Amino acid sequence: MIPADPAPLLLLTLTVSSVLAAFFLLGLLKMLLRSVGRERLGRVRRPPAPPGIHGIPLVGETLSFLSADRSGKGFYEFVRARRLRYGNCFKTSIFGKTQVFVSTTSAAKAVLGGDSVGFSKMYMRSISELLGKQSLLCASPENHRRLRRRMSTLFNTQSLEASVRTFDGLTVEALGKWKQGQTMVVLEEALKITFAAICKLLASIEREDELAEMQRDISEVTEAMLSIPLKLPGCRFFKGLKARRRVMTSLRKTIRQRREGSEHHDDFLQSLLAMDDQRSSDDQLTDSQILDNMLTLIIAGQITTASAIAWMVKYLDENPNVQERVRELHLPLLVGNAPGENNLDPEALGQMAYASMVVKETLRMASIVSWFPRVALEDCEVEGFQIAKGWIVNVDARHIHSDSAVYDNPGKFFPLRFHKDPKPYSFLAFGTGERTCLGMNLAKAMMLVFLHRLVTMFRWKVIDTDTSLEKGALFPRLRSGCPIKVTPISSSD
Ligand code: HEM
């Protein structure tokens, strides 16, 4: 049956469909708003990745990293240029790994600080192949703890006393040969002295031919550490591996003689072996643990300290008032400790407060270890950026040391700034946390002894002011090696 008037029915149909359409639109709008909101919330929860580029697939920015060094400004130039472009946290890819660089004290605390369980020390494969898997620098966290505990005893107060006397004796002997008006290349001289001291302290290696051969091999291993890991004849890495093998053969022979009892000396190696004798066999160090760590100590201790000494001599040349102040304070300290009389000891070094500040200021300005690499053990956030598990986060100590937000007038060589303790995580010359430099006290002592002997025996003038850096060097050092002309104190006064 057809209704007489269809208008009310039409009206009803229209009303119902309008209400349904309104509900549908409302639902749609709600869903839309919810998803936008979720996205917003998600963005708040998930920080952005650090800025920066990955470069060519697989190769990344490795070539730019290696060629930055060719500029004569060192590998750090690569980092510096990108920090200026991207800011205090940026990402790149070197040697097939995603690398993030961070350069604030808060980032240093987050990555290196005591509660940074999310990061572990990480070195490139090339470095661990050259130093050895058992090296303290490359060992797994559990292995590291055990090795470090065993090796720390080698750097106790008693050993430091012997080390200071040894280093002083060698310094006085070397500087005693310098003549009026002669040109001495500080880096070369300091390398010879620190190398001789460390080899003597470690394993009583003293024969000149043995030392010279070992020094050649050690510098080949060191030069290979930042090279492309190609095992092809003629390549730097290949040469480094061959040099490592020669060093190992020579040290292995020494260990065998000590274990057989045919040789006995008062040195680090002997005390390591003696400690082993008192332990159960499964707690003893293996030969490869001892070998890798002897090589590590020679490399970690020699070039770093010698480079720091060369920078110190340069800074003191540029700041004659500081040099004179140290001399003025140190000439009276010679009584009883004059060259050739008594060797210095840690107690004498304890009286050198201003010189200690000179050492610290040198280490701040020179930043011998420019950045510290750590691998992220899980996804995390640093400085507001997302860091993925497996990425390497490098703390840029060099920038922290030269940041005007951290140090007043950072470009000025001003030892007295260390009259006050530096702010937390602002002085990173020896790193911080559980991986702090094991040889820190020895290194500071060696720098102090050298400074004391140099200022009390000579005045000097740097004769090559070229500031370009040695290419391929793991630690920044002057290409010129800092040549100086010396005038003995007695003839200049
Ligand atoms: C001025 C000289 C030196 C400087 C600037 C220096 C700097 C450093 C820095 C910054 C670290 C920590 C790196 C990191 O956390 O990634 C380190 C570690 C280390 N240094 Fe030194 N160092 C110097 C001298 C020495 C000496 C003389 C020795 C021993 C003979 C030595 C042995 C070591 C060792 C074994 C480690 C590894 C510690 C570990 O991982 O537990 N260093 N050094």
CATH of the domain at 91: 3.30.43.20
**For helices 440-457 and 320-330, what crossing angle results, to 10°?**
90
User: 99 and 214, same structural domain?
Assistant: no
pLDDT of residue 18: 63
381 DSSP β-pair partners: 386
pLDDT of residue 491: 46
User: 196 and 96, same structural domain?
Assistant: no
pLDDT of residue 3: 44
- Please name the residue whose Cα sits nearest to atom 9 of ligand 1: 430
pLDDT of residue 139: 87
How far is CA 218 from each of CA 214, 290, 301, rounded to the nearest angstrom? 6, 17, 12
- Minimal CA–CA distance to 442: which of 91, 200, 137, 181? 200
Q: Which domain holds residue 211?
A: 133-367+402-492
Mean pLDDT, the chain cut into blocks of 10 residues (493 residues total): 50 58 58 52 73 85 89 90 96 93 96 80 84 90 88 86 95 95 95 96 94 94 87 93 97 92 88 78 83 95 95 97 97 86 90 97 97 94 95 97 97 97 96 93 97 97 87 83 92 50
Atom of ligand 1 nearest to the CA of 144: 41
- Please name the residue whose Cα sits nearest to atom 2 of ligand 1: 305
DSSP assigned state of 38: H
Residue 87 lies in a domain: yes
Q: What separation in Å is there between the alpha carbon of 17 and the centre of ligand 1?
A: 79
pLDDT of residue 27: 54
User: 154 and 216, same structural domain?
Assistant: yes
Q: What separation in Å is there between the alpha carbon of 434 and the centre of ligand 1?
A: 12
pLDDT of residue 431: 96
SS3 label, residue 137: coil
User: 147 and 113, same structural domain?
Assistant: no
Which pTM does this prediction carry? 0.88
Ligand 1: lining residues by beta carbon, under 6 Å: 121, 136-137, 148, 198, 296-297, 300-301, 304-305, 308, 363, 368-369, 372, 429-431, 435, 437-439, 442-443
Q: What separation in Å is there between the alpha carbon of 62 and the centre of ligand 1?
A: 25
User: 173 and 60, same structural domain?
Assistant: no
Q: What separation in Å is there between the alpha carbon of 155 and the centre of ligand 1?
A: 12
pLDDT of residue 164: 96
Residue 422 lies in a domain: yes
User: 462 and 323, same structural domain?
Assistant: yes
Q: What separation in Å is there between the alpha carbon of 461 and the centre of ligand 1?
A: 30
